[in-house]
Homo-oligomer: A and B are copies of this chain.
Amino acid sequence: MAVSPASRCIRWGICSAGHISNSFASALGSMPPMEHKAVAVAARDLSRAQDFAKLHKITNAYGSYEELAKDTNVDVIYIGTATHEHCRLTLLMLNHGKPVLCEKPLASNLREAQEMISLAKEKKLFLMEGFWTRFFPASYKLMDEISKGTIGEVKLIETIACRCYKGTVPEKFASLELSGGAVTMMGCYGIQYCSMIFGERPVKIAASGHLLDSGADGQTVVVLTYSNGRTGIVKAMINVSTPMNVTVYGTEGSMEIGPIQWCPVEVKTPTETFTFPVPDTATELKSPNKGGFHYQAEAVRQCLLKGELENSTMPHEHSLWNMEILDEVRRQLGVRFPADDKYSVDK
């Protein structure tokens, strides 16, 4: 379903009314209304969808995802549910002819991701994993400086993203049913940095960590060994607070991107610091840099206008690498999701 070039406005349907969907809709609400418009929202609970619609000035609110899938007034779906629902809802939307931008990680496991990408190809519909990080100007700047050889040949990527939850761990981190855990929820960003910078699959994956009482991982370190003497280290923990940045070491120096790796606004090269403030958002947001959703939303719009089924900055292949790494990390940690034992026939 390519958007007619005559209408350059992309009409978004929002799947789920949770925290991340709120951030995304808030960013959309501050973009040019002739280019982006949230026109529908669906949640399992109609009243939540209605509250969301009211806050973000969205016309249609649905109490089921199926209704949203059938809304012919929608050009593209944003899926902001918990991870365990990504596959089922993406398949639902694709099967109703809707292109999809699905939050990270793309799925609970590689098998689901493969199924989603296969269906998108079969239906000739756009599908992208929502790693908004890659579309921040700071990320492009980092990649540009790396290509220019500013730090020589990159040999080590250090990513750290740990926050200390004292007392109760949020359900999305603690729940196997929601396909949660520290590496899936936070480590995925570090993993995608390694995929982005090294541009290949690792040759070896070594992980170790600690599990929460729920069986999900709460403290995980992943060592990704790549060809040609290159290594990526991904740290994701919920029992300590650390910096949230990424440091890239090359043979001639190092660069840092941050201060928060998933929404970076600063790149420090050996000689300069470049800052890239994010755009404003329509509603006030608790989470930092949520205006950065502008970049990703516009990237999706450009793909839809050009009829592209895949985005070159966040291609399907990288999503598959990311999922393959997450699967192997969980295997080494002994973490299994209920989703791992479900097949599409159940969905």
Contacts and interface: CB of A to CB of B under 8 A. Distances in A.
Interface stretch (A6-14, A69-77, A120-128, A221-229): A221-229
B251 A233 contact: no
A63 interface: no
Given A162-B156, A206-B207, A206-B208, A239 B229 contact: yes
Given A156-B237, A218-B229, A240-B251, 16 more contacts: A155-B237, A156-B162, A156-B240, A162-B249, A206-B207, A206-B208, A208-B223, A209-B231, A210-B229, A219-B229, A219-B231, A221-B223, A221-B231, A223-B223, A240-B250, A241-B254
A286 interface: no
Interface in A116-134: none
A225 B251 contact: no
Interface of A: 155-156, 162, 164, 166, 204-210, 218-219, 221, 223-225, 229-231, 233, 235, 237, 239-242, 249-251, 253-254, 332
A219 to B, nearest CB: 6
A206 B233 CA distance: 13
A191 to B, nearest CB: 15
Nearest to A225: B208
A223 B206 CA distance: 9
Contacts of A209: 225, 231
Number of copies: 2
14 contacts: A155-B237, A155-B239, A204-B208, A206-B206, A208-B224, A210-B231, A219-B231, A221-B223, A221-B231, A223-B223, A233-B233, A239-B251, A241-B249, A242-B254
Consensus secondary structure, chain A interface: strand
Given A233-B233, A237-B155, A242 B249 contact: yes
Contacts of A208: 204-206, 223-225, 231
A208 B207 CA distance: 9
Contacts of A230: 210
A149 to B, nearest CB: 15
B164 A219 contact: no
A210 B239 contact: no
A207 B206 CA distance: 7
A204 B211 CA distance: 13
Contacts of A229: 210, 218-219, 239
A159 to B, nearest CB: 12
A223 B205 CA distance: 12
A249 B254 contact: no
